[in-house]
């Protein structure tokens, strides 16, 4: 060796985890849901996902190169995750132009305006999704019925989602009758679990999302605090409503497996950048998302509220970070 030694402050040992590995870990966790959706929606699912991911990656690198003039960092995988998540909350027959527009808003407005990865206050994929939802409500709420690779992209047979059927008929028909009504054709628990129903691309297959959750937890990409507090809050809240009046409220299990709840709780609310940092904060945030979701679903104008609930709680995240600190060592002094 030469006589020059590297001198640097401690620590001299570094962990193996990197931002890139974490991001691609999320991609791996999303893979089961992607496979499930391809099974149910065929080519349409592949097309939408590819368009969304590719547009997100291209928009991010273009903005970095020509507007921010920063060193390109698109390879860190965060744009791929945003692209996947955006695709996962779109209906499968959305015109391609709208997908690209959604990706531009997600990456451009949702993420890069604030300085890129780590600085955005709101989940970029949800910003894109809500923009499309409010601007193109008809296209965004037309749900093709899953027919596997036979699902046609352009003139698919469309149907309502279980939540929208419920939302239209609350207080009109007792919930038990909605469930059994042959004309409304509400999917049963088994169908919900395996994902054979109308809905956005990635939100339908509960089992695949749960596999993703298990992977995220085992791989220590996320902790249980956010998803568990959201899901428990929804179960508790809808459970109380259901026990109080089961004529006009669906049961907790049905709420759990319909709409974007699992996708939101597992993959969107847990976005590092936009969720609180301390364990206490994560639980408050999760409880908030759960309550707002149920309020919108049951008492609001929209059948589904997860997207708004997460964005609203994203706005509270900086405040939560200021007021809910981790418990410091030596705080509770035990006397000898």
Partner 1 sequence: MKTFAKGGVHPPENKISAGIPIEILPVPEQVIIPINQHLGAPAEPMVEKGEAVKAGQIIARNKGFVSANIHSPVSGKVLKVDKAFDSSGYKQTCVIINVEGDEWIDSVDRSDKLKRDINLTGEEIIKKCSENGIVGMGGATFPTHVKLTIPPGKKCNVLIINGVECEPYLTSDHRLLLEKTGEILTGTSLLMKALGVERAMIGTENNKKDAIEKLQSMVSEYSGISVHALKVKYPQGAEKQLIKALIKREVPSGGLPIDVGTVVHNVGTAYAVYEAVQKNKPLVERVVTVTGKDMEKPVNLLTRIGTPVSKLIEYAGGLPDSTAKIINGGPMMGKALASLDVPVTKGTSGIILIRRKESRRSETGPCIRCSKCIAACPMGLEPYLLMTLAEKELYERAEKERIMDCMECGSCSYICPAHRPLLDYIRLGKSNVGRIIRERKQK
Out of 118, 137, 148, 188, which residue is the one contacting partner 1 (CB under 8 A)?
Answer: 118
DSSP 76: G
Q: Which of 66, 97, 117, 193 touches partner 1 (CB under 8 A)? A: 117
Residue 10 touching partner 1 (CB under 8 A)? yes
Asked whether position 12 contacts partner 1 by CB under 8 A, the answer is yes
Q: Which listed residue (66, 97, 190, 328) binds partner 1 by CB under 8 A?
A: 328
Residue 334 gets the label, from left (phi > 0), alpha (psi -120 to 50) or beta, of beta
Q: Where are the alpha helices (DSSP H) in 63-161?
A: 78-88, 96-104, 124-135, 137-140
Residues 119-148 that bind partner 1 (CB under 8 A): 119
Cβ neighbours of residue 188 closer than 8 Å, sequence gap 6 or more: none
Contact call for residue 15 and partner 1 (CB under 8 A): yes
Q: Which listed range, 111-119, 124-132, 202-210, 308-316, lies at the site for partner 1 (CB under 8 A)?
A: 111-119
> Is 61 among the residues that bind partner 1 (CB under 8 A)?
no
Interaction of residue 273 with partner 1, rule CB under 8 A: yes
69 contacts partner 1 (rule: CB under 8 A): no
Q: Which residue has the tokens 């900086």?
A: 318
Residue 132: count other Cβ atoms within 10 Å of its Cβ.
24
Length of the chain: 336
CB count, 10 Å around CB of 180?
9
Question: In this chain, which of 194, 272, 302, 316 binds partner 1, going by CB under 8 A?
Answer: 272
Q: Is 90 exposed, middle or buried (0-12, 13-18, 19+ CB in 10 A)?
A: buried
> Closest approach of Cβ 73 to partner 1, in Å?
7
210 prior amide bond cis, ω within 30? no
The nearer residue to partner 1, 30 or 140, going by C-beta atoms, is: 30
Residue with smaller CB distance to partner 1, 6 or 190: 6
Minimum distance of partner 1 from residue 212's CB (angstroms): 18
Which one, 52 or 78, has the nearer CB to partner 1? 78
Q: Does 17 bind partner 1 (CB under 8 A)?
A: yes
Site for partner 1 in 195-254 (CB under 8 A): 223
DSSP state of 63: I
Binding residues with partner 1: total (CB under 8 A): 42
Q: For residue 104, what are its two tokens?
A: 């531009």
User: Which of the 8 DSSP states describes residue 171?
Assistant: T
Separation between Cα atoms, residue 40 and residue 194, nearest integer Å: 10
In the complex with partner 1, the residue whose CB is nearer, 132 or 287, is 287
Residue recorded with tokens 């908030």: 288
Look-up of token digits 């890139």: 20
- Residue choice 158, 278, 302, 312 for contact with partner 1 (CB under 8 A): 278
- The residues of the shown chain that bind partner 1, judged by CB under 8 A, are 1, 5-15, 17-19, 21-22, 73, 76, 78, 116-119, 223, 272-273, 275, 277-279, 325-334, 336
């Amino acid at each position: 060796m030469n006589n020059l030694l590297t001198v640097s402050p401690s620590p001299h040992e570094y962990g193996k985890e990197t931002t890139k590995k974490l991001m691609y870990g999320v991609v791996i966790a999303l893979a089961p849901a992607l496979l499930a959706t391809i099974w149910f929606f065929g080519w349409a699912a592949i097309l939408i996902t590819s368009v969304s991911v590719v547009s997100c990656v291209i928009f991010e690198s273009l903005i970095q190169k020509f507007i921010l003039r920063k060193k390109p960092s698109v390879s860190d995988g965060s744009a791929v995750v945003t692209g996947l998540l955006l695709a996962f909350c779109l209906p499968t027959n959305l015109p391609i132009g709208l997908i690209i527009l959604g990706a531009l808003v997600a990456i451009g407005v949702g993420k890069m305006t604030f300085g890129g990865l780590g600085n955005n206050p709101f989940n970029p994929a949800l910003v894109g999704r809500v923009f499309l939802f409010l601007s193109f409500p008809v296209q965004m709420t037309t749900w093709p019925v899953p027919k596997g690779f036979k699902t046609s992209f352009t003139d698919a047979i469309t149907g309502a989602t279980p939540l929208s059927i419920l939302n239209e008929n609350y207080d009109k028909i007792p919930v038990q009758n909605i469930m059994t009504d042959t004309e409304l054709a509400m999917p049963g628990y088994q169908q919900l679990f395996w994902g054979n129903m109308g809905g956005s691309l990635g939100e339908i297959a509960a089992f695949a999302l749960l596999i993703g959750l298990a992977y995220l937890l085992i791989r220590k990409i996320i902790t249980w605090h956010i998803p568990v507090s959201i899901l428990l809050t929804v179960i508790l809240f809808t459970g109380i409503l259901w026990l109080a009046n089961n004529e006009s409220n669906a049961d907790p299990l049905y709420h759990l497996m319909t709409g974007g709840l699992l996708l939101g709780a597992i993959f969107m609310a847990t976005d590092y950048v936009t969720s609180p940092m301390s364990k206490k904060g994560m639980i408050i945030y999760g409880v908030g998302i759960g309550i707002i979701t149920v309020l919108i679903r049951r008492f609001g104008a929209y059948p589904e509220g997860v997207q708004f609930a997460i964005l609203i709680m994203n706005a509270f995240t900086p405040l939560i970070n200021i007021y809910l600190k981790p418990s410091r060592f030596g705080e509770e002094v035990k006397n000898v």
